[in-house]
Structure 1
């Protein structure tokens, strides 16, 4: 149970980091053989990185935020809230703590904590998978400025926050599963 709670706490930190980091997806745009400029999109802001390395960030206006990012904001924040509740229930349901004197109630709190971590894992998995699915990993020609001679190539890549989100999902599933299995192992017939 303690190992499961520790993994879920690390997953909680991963959820916060994934929510706060800007690089959810990176769009690199090339023109002929020039150096690319990149657009880094996150849940809260969009940054443009010039070929010289200069970075300019700005927040989204809500209507300009892509649909998958809107959903990701809500789902990740919901996951963080569920994880906080799961951690509180997990700590209160520990055998070494005496917040609740009744052993049966402590076991039920631990089970509820494990289920909360599993649910939070799904709430992280959905936006990470959705955003990954929207990223095309090939070069896509686009015409710019309505000029046929001015051809740009665009390539989208996964950002670091998505990798952290995948790792967080695994930690939450493992932690929730271990906490739930400790309930069934100790409980036996219930």
Structure 2
């Protein structure tokens, strides 16, 4: 019981830390940064995220432009927005459910109900990590495809710091959620019928194995009556007292 409680606490810390990293990824500026490959003199640095695109000149002054229309965006940016928002919402509900379902808290009902709630929280954290992982991977795939395409002549970009933060948070969410789901096994002991079945099977096996090979005694066969003098005397004495 104590080990599973510590496992739940450690899983909750991992999952919450991963959710915080995933949440901090969404407003981070540097999802992609202009590449310096083949450039001798750099006069400006281009960078963008899911909400805006910016340029920073050599003096450090930045000029940004928000994406005006959501429907006019590329499909991968819209998909990344939706996946990241879903990841943040799932992680939020997972954190609340984990607080209710852990054994160290006083709310949530009995152990079985708390175990179900903890399993639900672990599933939310796993889904949150998968959504964030998919969004960061999709965005990175677009960057690398344009970078290695020889026919692409526009500005090429490299992976920004936000993608690495998102990947790290996704891994922590998946690990913490998996540990949270595995920690509930101690709350569901073996049923009494299964224990009785194993016990009866062991008794019947030992009873049959006590006979020599080829002379195993049937379960319904009764032993032959003993007509010795001692048994008749005992039977007579018993009836005499009645």
Q: Could you state the TM-score of these two structures normalised by the residue count of structure 1?
A: 0.85
Aligned to 2:76: 68
The structure-2 alpha-carbon separation of the partners of 1:175 and 1:31, relative to structure 1 and needing over 3 Å to count, comes to: closer
Q: Does 1:2 align with 2:3?
A: no
Aligned to 1:107: 115
- Aligned runs of 1:80-91 on 2, under 5 Å? 80-91=88-99
Q: Deviations over 1:147-182 (max 9, x none)?
A: xxxxxx733100111000110111001110110110
Could you list the runs of 5+ residues in structure 2 that have no partner in the other structure?
Answer: 1-7, 192-242
Q: Report if aligned partners of 1:28, 1:36 keep a CA contact under 8 Å in 2.
A: no
Aligned to 1:122: 130
Higher strand share: 1
Q: Distance in 2 between matches of 1:2 and 1:111?
A: 14
Aligned to 2:41: 34
Look at both structures and tell me which one has the larger radius of gyration over its CA atoms.
Answer: 2
Equivalent residue pairs, number = 181
Q: Report if aligned partners of 2:91, 2:124 keep a CA contact under 8 Å in 1.
A: yes
Name which structure has the greater RCO, CA cutoff 8 Å, separation 6+: 1
Q: Deviations over 1:30-64 (max 9, x none)?
A: 89743242221111221111233221122111245
Instruction: Judge which range, 59-68 or 43-52, deviates more.
Output: 59-68
- Specify the SS of the correspondent of 2:45: strand
- Aligned runs of 1:43-58 on 2, under 5 Å? 43-58=50-65
Please report the RMSD computed on the Cα atoms of aligned residues, expressed in angstroms: 2.4
Offset of 1:140 from its aligned partner? 5.5
Q: Does 1:133 align with 2:141?
A: yes
Q: Could you state the TM-score of these two structures normalised by the residue count of structure 2?
A: 0.68
Offset of 1:138 from its aligned partner? 4.7
